[in-house]
Amino acid sequence: MSALLSSLDAEEKELLHCESAPTWKTPMLATLTEDRFSDPGWLYERKFDGERCLGLREGATVRLLTRNGKDAASTYPELIDALGAQEATSLVVDGEVVAFEGARTSFATLQGRSGLTDPEQARETGIDVFYYVFDLLHWDGHDLTGLPQRTRKNLLRRALTFEDPLRFSTHRLEHGEEMHEEACAKGWEGVIAKRAEAPYQHGRSTDWLKFKCVRDQELVVGCWTDPRGSRAGLGALLVGYHEDGALHYAGKVGTGFTERALSELRTELDRISAEEPPFVDREALPRSGVHWVEPRLVAAIGFTEWTRDGRLRHPRFQGLRRDKRARDVVREQR
């Protein structure tokens, strides 16, 4: 057993399990809540506006996988280099890849790296990326997910050498409400609250909670409309969410697009054209100038509020999410 794990007490060592280096672990996901609270039994971390990724290393082999298991090594080659430079040769870490706009993490800025599969091209974008690591799931032939959250973070801090672009995701103890207020004042996404004694669970859990500062929602693209005036590519996206096995219409999104986004979106949408609308509530859909698509693409949409009839008010396109499956998109309740 490594020196790092030997430092655990007897009770914690009982929670370790020997395992071969895993090729994948299903990430733990947070549950959205309106309840802001302070509790000494919880840790509070910054919520980043980026792309969730697992970093895996076994010997000289280093991989970076998105939340739905897609290979992101060529998109973020400097992060592969950073993990490969660590002394540890058997590990799995969980974290968020981010880019910055000023002092704020920006998913829109990170979109400049999205979909790139040539490492040199990715580096040449000039978009600096950082990997904020917040959990340690495997180390030295042992599964650590049964350990308490607090213990895993303590091990993580000592396990890696944190130098840019690899950063440790710091946390605060007990004062969740105060951290949420500060996060919103700084323009952050929000705060993630984590139960200090909880194990790492594969899937969504109420042991991790999201305190959001801004309203946004991942939604499925089901249609695009014809462009008007001088705009090229498309006019707007029609988006929706799954409920009871059906895709429900959530509204039309016509702002937030860059020229590049319009061009790239149109190319992708043309590839997945369909004859029929994928939405179940067809009576609410526009009748002309529309082009239906298979519901495969997931978009991040910012908005002010949900209307009573289940539509987005003042929606704005933020970018495509490559790390989430369309069938998993549901309406987040607040």
Confidence of residue 62 (pLDDT cuts 50, 70, 90): very high
Domains, the chain, ranges and CATH? Answer: 30-212 (3.30.470.30), 216-328 (2.40.50.140)
What pLDDT is recorded for position 305? Answer: 80
Say if CB 274 and CB 297 are below 8 A apart.
no
**What would the mean pLDDT of 137-158 be, rounded to a whole number?**
98
Q: What's the pLDDT tens digit per position in 73-126?
A: 999 999 999 999 999 889 999 999 999 999 889 998 999 998 899 999 999 999
Confidence of residue 215 (pLDDT cuts 50, 70, 90): confident
- 3-state DSSP percent of the chain in helix, strand and coil, to 5: 20, 35, 40
> Using CA atoms, how far apart are residues 214 and 48, in angstroms rounded to an integer?
12
What pLDDT is recorded for position 308? Answer: 83
Q: How far is CA 307 from the centre of its chain?
A: 26
Q: What DSSP string describes 50-77?
A: SEEEEEEEETTEEEEEETTS-B-TTTSH
Mean pLDDT score of the chain:
95
Q: What's the pLDDT tens digit per position in 263-295?
A: 999 999 999 999 999 999 999 999 899 999 999
What pLDDT is recorded for position 214? Answer: 76
Catalytic residue among 13, 47, 186, 212: 47
What pLDDT is recorded for position 216? Answer: 87
Local structure of residue 200 (DSSP, 8 states): P
The SS3 call for residue 119 is: helix
> Using CA atoms, how far apart are residues 217 and 167, in angstroms rounded to an integer?
27
Is the pLDDT at 187 greater than 90? The verdict is no
User: What does the H/E/C string look like for 237-283?
Assistant: EEEEEEECCEEEEEEEECCCCCHHHHHHHHHHHHHCECCCCCECCHH
Is 47 noted as a catalytic residue in this protein?
A: yes
Is the pLDDT at 333 greater than 80? The verdict is no
